[in-house]
């Protein structure tokens, strides 16, 4: 872990994006008790506001692209040489200056900074555990930035890589799940250490596509990450994983097979 910077904090781009998503139709929630308090408040204030500008391209992007794709776009700030892309960023910046968006962004920032104090020690401990188990992260990774996102679904997270920096963006459940969400996103750093065989065929359901797993390659990586998490819980944390394994099988029917393959590769690497 020498030379690797680890930070946690706030992000204007993430906040403005998810404020836009929430006002332009992003309603996903995976917490049985409903949305986070800050998200509910933001949605209420945004939807009763009269905006100074219209946001045709912003609204269109929210309908067409997944949150992960949009997150990568605003973090990287890559303006593709097209009218749609230029108009998206123009409207994104205008939206960020709406009075209600500016006020909500400041309130979210305070939550992000408070969450960072809780999550940063957890991130560092989990990273050290993974390094002990799996080896160092890829050499091209120079910095890891953890961003709490109270405007997303409770148990949702994303990883975005840009110029040697890995951004881990985690939903409000990250503070209440004993590290599960942080651990899951962090494990994506190590997923390329393990390759599933070509014979490991995966099937995309509409439910998985809606969650952002839009290709066999992405879904295979998710199999590896969830299998690594199960292995870690069982071997390192000494937890009973039987119930979790059954839950995972609802979306990933071959997860037990993936877990066996992952365990074999890790044990082989230890010899």
pLDDT over threshold 80, residue 194: yes
Cβ neighbours of residue 23 under 8 Å, at least 6 residues apart?
43, 46, 47
Domain ranges of the chain: 5-184, 194-270
Query: Residue 264: which H helix or E strand, with range?
Result: helix 255-270
pLDDT over threshold 60, residue 271: no
- For residues 199-210, give the mean pLDDT: 76
- For residues 236-247, give the mean pLDDT: 92
SS3 (DSSP) at 160:
strand
Distance between CA atoms of residues 123 and 146, nearest Å = 8
Residue pLDDT, tens place only, 128-175? 999 988 888 888 899 999 999 999 999 999 999 999 999 999 999 998
Bridge partners, residue 6, by sequence = 144
Residue pLDDT, tens place only, 55-93? 999 999 999 998 989 999 999 887 766 788 899 999 999
Cβ neighbours of residue 236 under 8 Å, at least 6 residues apart?
129, 133
Retrieve residue 196's tokens: 């599933």
Residue pLDDT, tens place only, 108-121? 999 999 998 899 99
pLDDT over threshold 90, residue 99: yes
Indicate the pTM of the whole model: 0.89
């Amino acid at each position: 872990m020498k030379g690797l910077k680890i930070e946690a904090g706030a992000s204007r781009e993430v906040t403005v994006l998810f404020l836009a998503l929430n006002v332009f139709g992003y309603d996903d929630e995976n917490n049985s008790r409903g949305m986070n308090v800050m998200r509910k408040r933001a949605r209420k204030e945004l939807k009763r506001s009269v905006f100074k500008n219209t946001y045709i391209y912003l609204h269109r992007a929210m309908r067409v692209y997944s949150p992960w794709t949009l997150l990568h776009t605003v973090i990287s700030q890559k303006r593709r040489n097209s009218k749609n892309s230029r108009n998206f960023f123009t409207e994104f910046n205008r939206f960020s200056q709406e009075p209600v968006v500016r006020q909500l962004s400041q309130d979210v920032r305070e939550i992000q900074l408070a969450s960072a104090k809780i999550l940063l020690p957890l991130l560092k401990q989990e990273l050290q555990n993974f390094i002990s188990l799996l080896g160092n992260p890829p050499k091209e990774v120079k910095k890891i930035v953890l961003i709490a996102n109270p405007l997303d679904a409770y148990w949702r997270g994303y990883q975005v890589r840009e110029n040697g920096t890995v951004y881990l963006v985690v939903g409000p459940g990250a503070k209440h799940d004993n590290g599960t969400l942080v651990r899951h996103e962090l494990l994506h750093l190590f997923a390329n250490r393990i390759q599933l065989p070509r014979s490991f065929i995966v099937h995309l359901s509409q439910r998985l596509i809606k969650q952002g797993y839009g290709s066999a390659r992405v879904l295979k990586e998710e199999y590896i990450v969830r299998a690594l998490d199960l292995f870690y819980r069982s071997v390192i944390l000494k937890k009973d994983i039987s119930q979790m394994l059954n839950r995972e099988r609802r979306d990933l029917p071959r997860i037990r097979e993936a877990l066996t393959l992952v365990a074999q590769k890790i044990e082989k690497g230890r010899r």
